[in-house]
Amino acid sequence: MANIRVCARFRPAILQDDGEVLHFARSDSRSFTLQDENDEHHTFSFDKVFYKDSEQADVYEFLASHLVRDVVKGINGTIITYGETGAGKTYTMEGANIMETENYKKGLLPRVVDELFEVISLCGEATAYKIKLSMVEIYMERVRDLLDLSKDNIQIEEHEEHGMLLCGSTEILISDGEEALKLLSSGIANRAVGESKTNKASSRSHCIYIFTVEKEVANEKRVSTGKLVLVDLTGSETTDADGRALEEAKTIKKSLSALENMIDALISGQENHISFRDSKITRILQATLGGSFQTALLCCCSPGLCHFPKTLCTLLFGARIKALSAFNEAMSSMKETTEKLVYTTAELLRENQRLKQIMREMYEEVMHVNKKMVVDCEEILHLIKKHQETPGQI
């Protein structure tokens, strides 16, 4: 089962928030309560909540740093950003600009690149590493290669050992951070964008960044592989548009609904009844949310009161993922307890068999002694009888 860390982040207020901000009370660094226009209270609790004064570095350290260190060890990880358009997903993922040089503005992607190469540089010469980068988007339910636009309908296939594979997607070997950032910048420029109510250049696709780390130790024939997948889920927007924009909105809404249905099925334990093929994003996230990946989800939220319905939907989505995480932990604990019980039961059965064997052996020994005593008694009685028949003779 997946190990999932769920966080929420509120961006600072901007002009599009119409001046009014949400009324909420912070309980601690993990919990808060929102008050809506009807004075109803909505309380949420996550692994961490980042408020408007949080720094990019704070988000990265809690959300992603441990996953980067683990992927070098061959442990798979996923980072997902979710929220409405204009809630801060792009700034969190990319920063002010993917090529940003000011450290405090850097997003998750450039920080992942920096730490990957930093961790590898600290490893000894006996270990060789290769880092490969792939980048695709899911637009109108087609998987497009953002590093090679000629590949605009990549197929997703399931592999017994490697999980979901994006067949034929471009995978480029990167030798340093600068090369990685240039590739990311090129891929980001190829993303499908459109205008929404809250963003004039809103991405209308789910974007997936895949860092594959191969590790080979000298004198060992085995190569271990770890994948770090970063997923930028596009926001589901209500729209008055028509034509292409309307079709985009419908497709996005359908894919996010499929994702929510998958999560609900995982929470309820009906994993065998999940239709992962309902959407491309559910097929890609199948291993992430239902498998062995370590996963971090960041729910990006607007503080504007006018955005409250969308903010509430985002937080409810995060709460569902949090419930899935709790379910996974409970199932993992139950599995561990069951395994211990099975082991203990097996030990008790073995001990029972051992004691039964001892009892059989003791019974046989008692029967043998008893039989010998009967023979001895009969012999004594015979001697006594003989003595009585012939007094004076022994």
Question: Crossing angle of helices 177-189/108-121, nearest 10°?
Answer: 160
Q: Is 83 annotated as a binding residue?
A: yes
Q: Give the count of beta carbons closer than 10 Å to the beta carbon of residue 275.
A: 11
CA distance 86 to 198: 6
Q: Tokens 């271990």 label which residue?
A: 224
Q: Is 90 annotated as a binding residue?
A: yes
Could you tell me the two tokens for 279? 């959407």
- With H, G, I as helix, E, B as strand and everything else as coil, classify residue 214: strand
Q: Is 88 annotated as a binding residue?
A: yes
Q: Give the count of beta carbons closer than 10 Å to the beta carbon of residue 211.
A: 23
Q: Is 84 annotated as a binding residue?
A: yes
Q: Is 392 annotated as a binding residue?
A: no
- Kindly tell me the sign of the dihedral angle through the C-alpha atoms of 100, 252, 42, 7: negative
Helix (H) or strand (E) holding 181: helix 177-189
- With H, G, I as helix, E, B as strand and everything else as coil, classify residue 335: helix
- Contacts of residue 294, defined as CB under 8 A and 6 or more positions apart, other chains included, come to 2, 3, 5, 66, 67, 70, 75, 76, 77, 78
- Do the beta carbons of residue 119 and residue 72 sit within 8 Å? yes
Q: Is 89 annotated as a binding residue?
A: yes
CA distance 127 to 331: 36
Longest dimension (CA), the chain: 132
CA distance 83 to 71: 26
Cα 360 to Cα 22, 364, 368, 374: the distances in Å are 78, 6, 12, 21
Measure the CA dihedral 253/255/258/260, to 10°.
-60
User: DSSP letter at 262?
Assistant: H
Burial level of 33, CB count in 10 A (0-12/13-18/19+)?
A: middle
Q: Is 221 annotated as a binding residue?
A: no
Q: Is 85 annotated as a binding residue?
A: yes
- Known binding-site residue numbers: 83-90
- Known binding-site residue numbers for ATP: 83-90
